[in-house]
Structure 1
Amino acid sequence: MKKIFTLPALIAAFSLQAQFTVTIQAPADFKDQDAILYTLNGSKDIIFSKEQSKNSSWTFKYPKNYMGMMKVYFPGSNNTFNFISENMNVSVKLDTQANKIKDIIYLDEANDLMSKFQEGSQKKELILPALAQIKEYYKDNTDFGKALKTEINRLSGSSEGIDQAKHPFIYYYNTNYSKFLSNDASKKVSQDDIINFIDKSNDMLETSSLLRPVLVSYLNSGGNTNVSTSVDKLLDRLKVETPRGQTVLSELIDIFDVYDMQDFKDKYLGLAKNLKCTITDRLASTLKSNANVEIGAVFPNYKFQSPVNTTAKTLHDIKADKKIVIFWSSTCSHCESELPQLLAKYNDLKAKNIQVVGLSLDVDKDSYTKKISAFPWVNDSELRGWNSSYADTYNVHATPSYFILDANNKIISKPEHVGDVLEYFKLK
């Protein structure tokens, strides 16, 4: 007897099938077992799933429509690479050396095309101006002059030849990057142009990686004296309670944080806190990471990975009258100048029962290990750079970042520089 499927059964059966797959191949000597797939929401990477290697290959099954940027991260070796999805199968082959990605070969049509276009765009921005200057010294009827003219014409080509129906995301990304973010002075756009773009764009705006740089461009176009007016105009048009409005609000709060525009950050963070509508996950994550590090909040606990100079298992296990928590990196020039000043006063701090905890956003183990050999305080690192878990948890956007905690791990100060730390403890 034939089996008859009801509509719900058909829907359930269909939902078990992947909308598209992402397949990654690596050489047999690539040691990583785990790979994590991320999607994108604005500038925020969103974890989709983790897969384990099967014969040096990883396959992710994505269950729904997605057009935009994606990322795969190998936590074991801190390797990362980006690619795009146009809701079609993605196939990537990695060339590695010493467990580091040396080259990426895109085997699917969309990523191969996107890779070639971006390579061409880089040449256009970096090489074309130089070629135009060189051309002034050569006549068009010479062999070199003809070759120069041919190359200039080739690099000057646009993305108009991309088939929008066949490659909708590539067309969207390249067209709008060229319009809103290129260095071409002839393509200057107004604030109203940018507002219309943000307001009228489809969901690919959030997945394209264009949103944050376009917002920075928008703020710059309004001038330093008109920031609030510009932001209010944009949010009024978008309706801040909508998902798009909340994503833009979240991005703006982060931008003000990164550029140390504290007054604007406070204003729009307050707006976000007072929204009466349902809060999106994107804005909720911004609110949470900021709430984690407000003055008076209990600093979220952190489980050490490979701590040095302590037997404590977690940050809260360290007992002291006060703690100085530093987020730093061995490649950070400001850390290079500031941390020795803290080191010079370390014994004075220790005498006051003040403990220092350094959490590093390093990637290179040798560089990190060499640097901490000079630091007698508690040190730890996930060796994942800005992929470290505490970057989001503690809303860290720059190094060095300092927090002073009391004996109960409450935040009592957030100094901007090491001089402020020493002044707080009257050691300057």
Structure 2
Amino acid sequence: MKKILFAGTFFLSAWAFSQFNVKIAVPSYLVDSDIYLYGFNGSKDILFAKGKAGSTNAVVKVDKRYTGMMRAFFPKANGSVNLISENKDISFALDLDSGNRISNIVFADEANQLFSNQVETQRKQELILPALIQIKDFYKPTEGFYKSLDQEINTLSKKDNSQYASHPFIEFYQNSQKFVSQDKIADVKTDDFINYFTKSSEYLETSGLMKPILINYLNISKSNVEGGVDQLLAAVNVETPRGQTVLSELIDIFNSYNMVKLKEKYLKEGNNLKCTITDRLATTLKSNNNTEVGAKIPNNTFANAIHSKYKSLYDVKASKKIVVFWSSTCSHCEAELPKLLEKYEQLKAQNIEVVAFSLDSNLDEYKAKANVYPWISASEGKGWYSSYGETYNVNATPTYFIIDSDNKILSKPDHVGDVLSFLKVN
């Protein structure tokens, strides 16, 4: 008995303190800049570690066990690097182009070399292989170019799954592609999807594939989407962690695509659950419930504020407030915000204030653009990794809320014209 307890204690201790490092060779432009390392829970990014490139050889330490897709985010370069973790050290180097955007990544660890080669091969199989097969018909077998084409076609057509034997996550990712690829999806049946969601390992949650696969499932169920969703949720059981992650993803999808009735139905189902709620579903329920018309909008302490004497959203005193989420690189924002600017003095005269939260990752770009507008602006400088998306259920820019003096949501207009119309500003 003592031996078993000792072994179990040793295992738990090793599990709790196991960690890995992500080693990154960065160009001089990124020295002294932040690096954020995210994992996945469904389509939600989970911050695993934060580091700083103190020199051209940066190390981000991870103190949690994790196998799955990861993303290293570099705010200063306004870009990310996709990688996989097998709970082992990861190493890569990145280059920037003339605009200081990420242009090239070279991995040094075996798992990510294999994975990046697999992704590149798959891309060639989907985009280049069909063209090569057609081009080959224009050449004779005796010609050198024919032989080169034939060799490349044979290389791209081969499938060697033995190389994934010691990399189970890559094997899972590869086997999941038939549910993702638009070329293969026509051959996949409803029952195949349901079996995939009910029988897949925990790698499904960390693969980053759940959302695109769910969207494909909804597409093949388009003749009866609601029936398809009910069938899937019954199979995965919404009282289980897997079922709650699927439910959470579906609510987010319906919200993103403005499928209001379906969102309301399954949001209600989530709110009515009597079992233990996972953090993943609880976050989705909270962000939706807190941003419904009639709810009190969550407060926010301003970061990198411009044109503001206030410290938070609630501190701003006005009869009404227009809260807008935007970005300096958003073309729709470029088209809509000037129209709001035209009416700003009229809005101020009616004691209506504008508070704009930017989803920029480059603070210099944010400040340059925000200074053009006279209203209050703030930005965390983390792009779509900002807290704004989760807190305020923001899926696109611009997103508008109109709130009253008590910070209750009066309306969620789709466009600036709807904002002005609701406020009766001509």
Q: State the one-letter code of the partner of 1:290.
A: N
2:338 equivalent among 337, 340, 348: 340
Runs of at least 5 residues in structure 2 that lack an aligned partner in the other structure: none
In terms of mean alpha carbon deviation, does 401-410 or 79-88 score higher?
79-88
In terms of mean alpha carbon deviation, does 203-212 or 382-391 score higher?
382-391
> What residue is the counterpart of 2:35 in the other structure?
35
1:133, CA displacement in angstroms? Answer: 3.3
> What residue is the counterpart of 1:166 in the other structure?
166
Matched, 1:120 2:121: yes
Q: State the one-letter code of the partner of 1:154.
A: T
1:17, CA displacement in angstroms? Answer: 4.2
Write out per-residue CA displacement over residues 162-197 of structure 1, whole angstroms, 9 at most, x where no aligned residue.
Answer: 4343111111101211x2122335862011111111
> What residue is the counterpart of 2:324 in the other structure?
326
> What residue is the counterpart of 2:59 in the other structure?
58
1:147, CA displacement in angstroms? Answer: 1.9
**2: distance between equivalents of 1:54 and 1:356?**
38
1:53, CA displacement in angstroms? Answer: 5.1
Q: State the one-letter code of the partner of 1:73.
A: F
**2: distance between equivalents of 1:172 and 1:237?**
21
**2: distance between equivalents of 1:381 and 1:61?**
27
> TM-score normalized by structure 2?
0.90
**2: distance between equivalents of 1:249 and 1:9?**
35
SS of 2:163's equivalent in the other structure is coil
SS of 1:283's equivalent in the other structure is helix
In terms of mean alpha carbon deviation, does 76-85 or 114-123 score higher?
76-85
1:118, CA displacement in angstroms? Answer: 0.8
**2: distance between equivalents of 1:209 and 1:139?**
44
Count of residue correspondences: 420
SS of 1:316's equivalent in the other structure is coil
Runs of at least 5 residues in structure 1 that lack an aligned partner in the other structure: none
Judging changes above 3 Å, is the alpha-carbon distance between structure 1 residues 332 and 312 closer, same or farther for their aligned structure 2 residues? same
**2: distance between equivalents of 1:53 and 1:147?**
44
> TM-score normalized by structure 1?
0.90
* Structural mapping, 1:78-93, within 5 Å: 78-93=78-93
**2: distance between equivalents of 1:168 and 1:303?**
43
In terms of mean alpha carbon deviation, does 304-313 or 26-35 score higher?
26-35
* Structural mapping, 1:258-269, within 5 Å: 258-269=256-267
Q: State the one-letter code of the partner of 2:70.
A: M
Contact 1:32-1:77 at 8 Å conserved across structures: no
Judging changes above 3 Å, is the alpha-carbon distance between structure 1 residues 145 and 264 closer, same or farther for their aligned structure 2 residues? same
**2: distance between equivalents of 1:384 and 1:6?**
44
In terms of mean alpha carbon deviation, does 297-306 or 22-31 score higher?
22-31
Q: State the one-letter code of the partner of 1:180.
A: F
Q: State the one-letter code of the partner of 1:172.
A: F
Matched, 1:235 2:233: yes
User: Percent of aligned positions with the same letter in both sequences?
Assistant: 51
> What residue is the counterpart of 1:198 in the other structure?
197
**2: distance between equivalents of 1:366 and 1:75?**
11
* Structural mapping, 1:341-356, within 5 Å: 341-356=339-354
Judging changes above 3 Å, is the alpha-carbon distance between structure 1 residues 416 and 138 closer, same or farther for their aligned structure 2 residues? same
In terms of mean alpha carbon deviation, does 47-56 or 267-276 score higher?
47-56
**2: distance between equivalents of 1:251 and 1:15?**
29
Judging changes above 3 Å, is the alpha-carbon distance between structure 1 residues 126 and 12 closer, same or farther for their aligned structure 2 residues? closer
Q: State the one-letter code of the partner of 1:333.
A: S
**2: distance between equivalents of 1:148 and 1:105?**
27
Please give the root-mean-square deviation of Cα atoms over the aligned residues, in Å.
2.5
> What residue is the counterpart of 1:291 in the other structure?
289
**2: distance between equivalents of 1:218 and 1:8?**
41
Judging changes above 3 Å, is the alpha-carbon distance between structure 1 residues 187 and 162 closer, same or farther for their aligned structure 2 residues? farther
SS of 1:309's equivalent in the other structure is coil
**2: distance between equivalents of 1:370 and 1:45?**
28
**1: distance between equivalents of 2:165 and 2:137?**
40
* Structural mapping, 1:318-397, within 5 Å: 318-365=316-363, 367-397=365-395
Judging changes above 3 Å, is the alpha-carbon distance between structure 1 residues 72 and 142 closer, same or farther for their aligned structure 2 residues? same
Write out per-residue CA displacement over residues 257-280 of structure 1, whole angstroms, 9 at most, x where no aligned residue.
Answer: 111111111110000000010001
1:330, CA displacement in angstroms? Answer: 2.6
SS of 2:182's equivalent in the other structure is coil
Judging changes above 3 Å, is the alpha-carbon distance between structure 1 residues 262 and 364 closer, same or farther for their aligned structure 2 residues? same
Contact 1:250-1:282 at 8 Å conserved across structures: yes
> What residue is the counterpart of 1:182 in the other structure?
181
1:304 equivalent among 294, 302, 305: 302
**2: distance between equivalents of 1:375 and 1:59?**
37
Contact 2:30-2:76 at 8 Å conserved across structures: no
Contact 1:30-1:99 at 8 Å conserved across structures: no
Q: State the one-letter code of the partner of 1:201.
A: S
In terms of mean alpha carbon deviation, does 312-321 or 111-120 score higher?
312-321
Matched, 1:222 2:221: yes
Contact 1:140-1:149 at 8 Å conserved across structures: no
Judging changes above 3 Å, is the alpha-carbon distance between structure 1 residues 7 and 131 closer, same or farther for their aligned structure 2 residues? closer
Contact 1:241-1:277 at 8 Å conserved across structures: yes
Q: State the one-letter code of the partner of 1:219.
A: L
Contact 1:162-1:171 at 8 Å conserved across structures: no
**2: distance between equivalents of 1:118 and 1:103?**
15
Judging changes above 3 Å, is the alpha-carbon distance between structure 1 residues 9 and 399 closer, same or farther for their aligned structure 2 residues? closer
Q: State the one-letter code of the partner of 2:59.
A: W
> What residue is the counterpart of 2:274 in the other structure?
276
> What residue is the counterpart of 2:154 in the other structure?
153
**1: distance between equivalents of 2:174 and 2:297?**
42
Matched, 1:14 2:34: no
Q: State the one-letter code of the partner of 2:189.
A: S
Q: State the one-letter code of the partner of 1:132.
A: I
